[in-house]
Amino acid sequence: MTQASTTAHPELSARATFPAGFAWGVATAAYQIEGAVAEGGRGPSIWDSFSHQSGTTIHGDTGDIACDHYHRWEGDLDLMAELGIPSYRLSLSWSRLQPTGTGPLNPEGVAFYRNLLAGCAARGITPYVTLYHWDLPQPLQDDGGWPARHTASRFGDYAGLVADALGHLAEHWITINEPMCAAFLGHSWGMQAPGSKDDRLAVRAAHHLLLAHGLALAAFRERRPEAKVGITNIIGNLNPATQSEADRLATEHWDAVSNRIFLDPVYRGRYADSTVAAYGQYGLTATGEGAGGGDLVQPGDLALISAPGDFAGINHYTNMLVAAGDDTGTPNWQHVRPTPSSFGWSDTPEALKTVLKRVASEYTSLPLYVTENGITLHDYVDPNGEVRDTERIHYLRGYISAVGEAIADGVDVRGYFAWSFMDNFEWAEGYDKRFGLVFVDYGTQRRIPKQSAHWYGGMIAAQQDGVRPARSTAGATA
């Protein structure tokens, strides 16, 4: 690392270091916060349709209003600036920008995002923009959705239009957020939009989401060569539940179908043999070249998908023990040391360090960004008007320390984005799960920074001041 590094806040691990210019941020996604689904010329997306079908989300919650960020974005950015958060990862709603998924961009949508991105700049906040965080325009779903190859082309066209209209307003662009969830939670598990339960559709969607990434990267390279572009994958840490051969194989299988299916094509230019072994039955081939190619992976696809990007985005939430499953071949998994988090996920920061080291050693020397990491708790406003989310502070302290330790060990990590800036519509879990650093009282849309928001802002300020406190005498400067 050529730039000077700073040590961390006294509450972080003493080994943690962060390079100068490290991006400290928070993240959100359009459908989870914007609301205003029928305003500004926005068209329906698969999440509008899905959340309005009965039984798909908790209590029938929808993103119709969500955090009403569409109308409150200025106050939200003011709050972010007040809290001292310098970087903001947000997503663009495809159906707000291009309501039917084809044709010219909607000027009102463009104006909204121009104002939002200019509003970030005006407050000294650096935006990191995601082109696709799961909200496919419904007309494209009606035309086959992600299982149809032409959807990837539509996305490439959309990316080109966005590059032209908004590309000058941000330096960092994330093409696709978590193709794993979009493909499998949406098409195989049926728990996210569009809600199908068909492995074949999921595998097709997976490949086309990767192809869409490749086409969007190419569109940006052509129109905005100065932009820094990458894809964000969700990467869980997996270990066998026991030393048995069966559990080892189950872990390998789960890794092949949840992690490697997205990492290998992007960073190694081919699907792993273990992934092809699992999904060859649905037409997946290693490269699409030569004999044995089918209609899914076509010649040239992997060259597009693996064209060098500028960074690798990593979302990390889960640490699992995997055990061999029953006759269906489906592995069983459980979270390591489940916590009081309202999802029962783990608070095991070493898992994030392992994931970062794995990506750096097995996949890419590109800079890594932790584009999401966070915890959902049973947060409430106490009688003093405070939200004392001490478990979230504990979580952040641990995971941020793990990132800093990975950096100290030589991994090139350039940023960390806490999920999420504020509580929001947590997909099928509706408003039941609160991941925010800022509490949202949905009935009044009041924002109340939780203790963690103040902690995070303070930690960032200490970093940026180059404070290098002796662990027993906080306040000494470097």
In whole angstroms, how close is the CB of 63 to ligand FCB at the nearest point?
11
**What residues from 90 to 149 belong to the interface with ligand FCB (CB under 6 A)?**
none
One residue of 234, 284, 296, 321 binding ligand FCB per CB under 6 A: 234
Q: How far is CA 236 from the centre of its chain?
A: 12
Could you tell me which residues come within 8 angstroms of residue 113 by beta carbon, excluding any fewer than 6 positions away? 92, 96, 97, 166, 169
423 binds ligand FCB (CB under 6 A): no
The count of residues interacting with ligand FCB (CB under 6 A) is 12
Q: Which residue is nearest to ligand FCB (CB)?
A: 29
**What residues from 309 to 328 belong to the interface with ligand FCB (CB under 6 A)?**
315
In whole angstroms, how close is the CB of 164 to ligand FCB at the nearest point?
27
Give the side-chain half-sphere CA count within 13 A for 323: 9
Instruction: Count the Cβ atoms, other than its own, within 10 Å of residue 53.
Output: 13
CB distance 390 to 437 below 8 Å? no
Residue 184 is encoded by which pair of tokens? 């499998």
One residue of 88, 369, 435, 456 binding ligand FCB per CB under 6 A: 435
Q: Which of 11, 34, 178, 405 is catalytic?
A: 178
Of 345, 408, 410, 427, residue with least CA distance to 8: 408
- Closer to ligand FCB by CB, 138 or 315: give it: 315
In whole angstroms, how close is the CB of 192 to ligand FCB at the nearest point?
9
**What residues from 363 to 382 belong to the interface with ligand FCB (CB under 6 A)?**
372
- Is 11 one of the catalytic residues? no
209 binds ligand FCB (CB under 6 A): no
395 binds ligand FCB (CB under 6 A): no
The residue range among 137-145, 157-165, 419-427, 448-456 that interacts with ligand FCB, by the rule CB under 6 A, is 419-427
Range list of H helices, 224-280: 245-255, 261-268, 273-279
Between CA 163 and CA 16 the distance in angstroms is: 36
421 binds ligand FCB (CB under 6 A): no
CB distance 368 to 460 below 8 Å? no
CB distance 469 to 475 below 8 Å? yes
Between CA 137 and CA 148 the distance in angstroms is: 14
- Closer to ligand FCB by CB, 178 or 264: give it: 178
- Closer to ligand FCB by CB, 89 or 154: give it: 89
383 upstream amide cis, omega within 30 of 0: no
CB distance 42 to 99 below 8 Å? yes
One residue of 88, 254, 419, 456 binding ligand FCB per CB under 6 A: 419
Q: Which of 11, 34, 252, 372 is catalytic?
A: 372
**What residues from 148 to 187 belong to the interface with ligand FCB (CB under 6 A)?**
177-178, 181
347 binds ligand FCB (CB under 6 A): no
427 binds ligand FCB (CB under 6 A): yes
CA terminus-to-terminus distance, the chain:
19
- Is 178 one of the catalytic residues? yes
CB distance 138 to 95 below 8 Å? yes
Between CA 48 and CA 393 the distance in angstroms is: 33
Between CA 146 and CA 130 the distance in angstroms is: 18
Q: Return the CA Rg of the chain.
A: 21
**What residues from 275 to 314 belong to the interface with ligand FCB (CB under 6 A)?**
none
- Closer to ligand FCB by CB, 67 or 234: give it: 234
Vertex 359: Cα angle to 358 and 360 (nearest 5): 90
29 binds ligand FCB (CB under 6 A): yes
- The one-letter code for the residue type at 463 is Q
In whole angstroms, how close is the CB of 66 to ligand FCB at the nearest point?
12
426 binds ligand FCB (CB under 6 A): yes
- Closer to ligand FCB by CB, 341 or 354: give it: 341
Give residues in contact with ligand FCB (CB under 6 A). 29, 32, 177-178, 181, 234, 315, 372, 419, 426-427, 435
Active site residues: 178, 372
